[in-house]
Amino acid sequence: MNTRWKPSATVAAVIERDFNGIRKFLLVEEETRDGLRLNNPAGHLDPGESPSQGCARETLEETAFHFTPTALVGVYLSRFERIQPEGVLDITYLRFAFCGELGEQVAGQALDEGIVRTVWLTADEIRASTDRHRSPLLLRCMEDYLAGRRYPLELITTDPSVLSLEP
């Protein structure tokens, strides 16, 4: 049997803000099968959108903040496996992580299902909480951001045929 490998395309936002000289990152705390976990505002790329558009949408849905990607931090592959009664769940994620400008918060907007709250944590607090990370990519993306990795958005080309897809 010939099965084509299809990684799940995801997007994530690495968002930093200065709070009186203390640099903090915006994360979400979400309910998962494994309990409460921390993650970047992130999610799956939807049909009909570019990766940067998907990142802006996911950030708004998960944090109620508008977000405008200005640079690509990196592209990552990560594999997740879980034993289930019906067999092994084996998913490979292809993540596009962006940094950018955080806009206004939309007052009263409900957060995505499963998102409990948003939290602002320092880099050291994130490093100290790896047991609560939903994905090892949370820490990797932050460290790449702190190392100054920034690539132009033009590095990713979205053909117009993708943008014409009905979501």
Q: How does DSSP assign 116-141, residue by residue?
A: EEEEEE-HHHHHTTGGGBS-THHHHH
pLDDT, tens digit, for every residue of 34-49? 899 999 999 999 999 9
Within-domain flag for 1:
no
Q: Name the β-bridge partners of 115.
A: 30
Within-domain flag for 2:
no
Whole-model pTM: value is 0.91
> Measured between alpha carbons, how far is 46 from 31 in angstroms, rounded to an integer?
22
Say which CATH number the domain at 46 has.
3.90.79.10
Within-domain flag for 145:
yes
Within-domain flag for 162:
no
* Radius of gyration of the chain measured on its C-alpha atoms: 16
Strands 22-32 and 35-39: antiparallel
Within-domain flag for 167:
no
Within-domain flag for 164:
no
Within-domain flag for 3:
no
Q: How many CA atoms lie within 13 A of 117 on its CB side?
A: 4
In this predicted structure, the answer to whether residue 65 has a pLDDT above a threshold of 90 is yes
Q: How many domains does the chain have?
A: 1
- Find the helix or strand (DSSP H, E) in which 26 lies: strand 22-32
